[in-house]
Amino acid sequence: MKDLSGKHIVLGLTGGIACYKSAELCRLLIKAGASVQVVMTAAAEQFITPVTMQALSQRPVALSQWDAREANNMAHINLSRNADACLIAPASADFMAKLAHGQADDLLSLLCLARPLERTPLLLAPAMNREMWQHPATRRNLDQVIRDGACMLGVGSGEQACGETGDGRMMEPDEILQELIAFFQPKVLAGQKVLVTAGPTYEPIDPVRGITNLSSGKMGFAIARAAREAGAEVTLVAGPVSLTTPQGVHRIDVRSALNMHAAVMQQASTASIFIATAAVADWRPASAAEQKIKKDGSGNAPELQFVENPDILATLAQSERGQSRALYCVGFAAESHDLQAHAQAKRLRKGVPLLVGNIGPQAFGQDENTLLLVDEQGCNELARDSKLSLARQLIANIASRLSTGA
């Protein structure tokens, strides 16, 4: 099952240089399982040809409301009635001005006006020069279009085709795809503030060496993404990993367990859910040498002294907010055997209502995993699946625990 399986998307292109990115976006939508009907304005045809978009979408592109091949000659009705969403990317300043006024003098603006408001959402990925983006007329039009029920996905910032730098670039195709997928996810965590830790920590021995572990951060990043898709405001405190930040997630990069502890404590007072997926080092070298430790030729290895790191999860779970469940704490356990017994023991030791167990060697670095959810009542296995799918199941499970007070 792909993320957009069964979804039919009307992909509207209006006039802007960002049209070249819409070809890639169309491809990504199809790869994600959607069927795509492309509609282009005359201005969009100045930037990319319907031939390209037809080949990528595997359907003729709709260009005119006067196309006599449409049996009832009502392309605007036919196109807007069977769509799960109309996605306009790029949405030009001119097109948003039209939407704001309910103008309908071409097929795309006509079908946006004709769409059933309660059934067919309108999503906009604007693209324009930074001055046009900041112009009071554009701001006014955009406010109006949002008040009328459209959803603005956001704009990128940076270098623009005109040579200027600022806000107004179209979001990257993959970012738009992630936003569209998120749009269709149930908003079971709306209003919640979720704090997630992910990845390994790195404990320095000297300026060039340290102790770390094999955690890839993938499970924690998937959980942060799933929580955001479910409507939560998400902060992700990440150890050293080279993963892309999920769309719409606030990321704080840290290195050592002490750094992670400080960052989490700073965020925890406003969070309502804490999910600790990070593989935090249990110990750190008592002191990190300021200069690289050299071999002295004696054949003797240096003696390292270790001190224990603070337990971030246990500290929060046993705090007043953790105990009252104002902060709902969820822990993870990576074990190599006897998962159920170890996970239950760890749940009690940490003082969390829910602990998620997995077999470390079958989870670390992989794209798939199996999870065992352990609570006071017993345990429940989530069968092997992609980490994102498991993350969505875990988020749904946490949401239902919060709503039933379990």
Active-site positions? 162
Which of 226, 313, 372, 382 is in the footprint of ligand C5P by CB under 6 A?
313
The residue type at 368: E
The tokens of 353 are what?
A: 């209502």
Buried b (16+ CB within 10 A) or exposed e, 243-269: beebbbbebbebbbbebbbebbeeebe
CB of 364 to ligand C5P, least distance (A): 13
Q: Give the residue from 44, 26, 45, 28 showing the smallest Cα distance to 36.
A: 26
Is 256 near ligand C5P (CB under 6 A)? Answer: no
The reply on whether position 332 binds ligand C5P by CB under 6 A is yes
User: Strand (E) positions, 290-377?
Assistant: 306-308, 328-335, 354-359, 368-375
CA 313 to chain centre: 23
Phi, psi of 239 (to 5 degrees): -70, -175
Q: Cα separation of 306 and 288, whole Å?
A: 10
Does 215 bind ligand C5P (CB under 6 A)? Our answer is no
Q: Tell me if 280 contacts ligand C5P by CB under 6 A.
A: yes
Sites for ligand C5P among residues 346-365 (CB under 6 A): 346
- Contact residue for ligand C5P among 224, 311, 322, 382 (CB under 6 A): 311
* Cβ proximity to ligand C5P, 216 vs 309, nearer residue: 309
Tell the smallest beta-carbon distance from residue 331 to ligand C5P (Å): 4
Give the contacts of 34 (CB within 8 A, at least 6 positions apart): 4, 5, 7, 8, 9
Which range in 119-127, 151-159, 231-239, 275-283 contacts ligand C5P by CB under 6 A?
Answer: 275-283
Query: Is there binding between residue 394 and ligand C5P (CB under 6 A)?
Result: no
Task: Based on the shown chain and the rule CB under 6 A, indicate whether residue 312 belongs to the binding site for ligand C5P.
Answer: yes
Between residues 247 and 277, which has the closer beta carbon with respect to ligand C5P? 277
Residue 185: how many other CB atoms lie within 10 Å: 18
Among 222, 237, 249, 333, binds ligand C5P (CB under 6 A): 333
CB within 8 Å of 304: residues ≥ 6 apart? 205, 285, 286
From the number of C-beta atoms within 10 Å of its C-beta (0-12, 13-18, 19+), residue 373 rates as buried
25 binds ligand C5P (CB under 6 A): no
Segment interacting with ligand C5P, rule: CB under 6 A, options 57-65, 104-112, 238-246, 328-336: 328-336
Q: Which is nearer to ligand C5P, 171 or 222 (CB)?
A: 222
User: Which residues in the 173-212 window bind ligand C5P by CB under 6 A?
Assistant: 197
Measured from the CB of residue 353, what is the shortest distance to ligand C5P in angstroms?
A: 13
Return residues touching ligand C5P (CB under 6 A): 197, 257, 276-278, 280, 309, 311-313, 331-333, 346
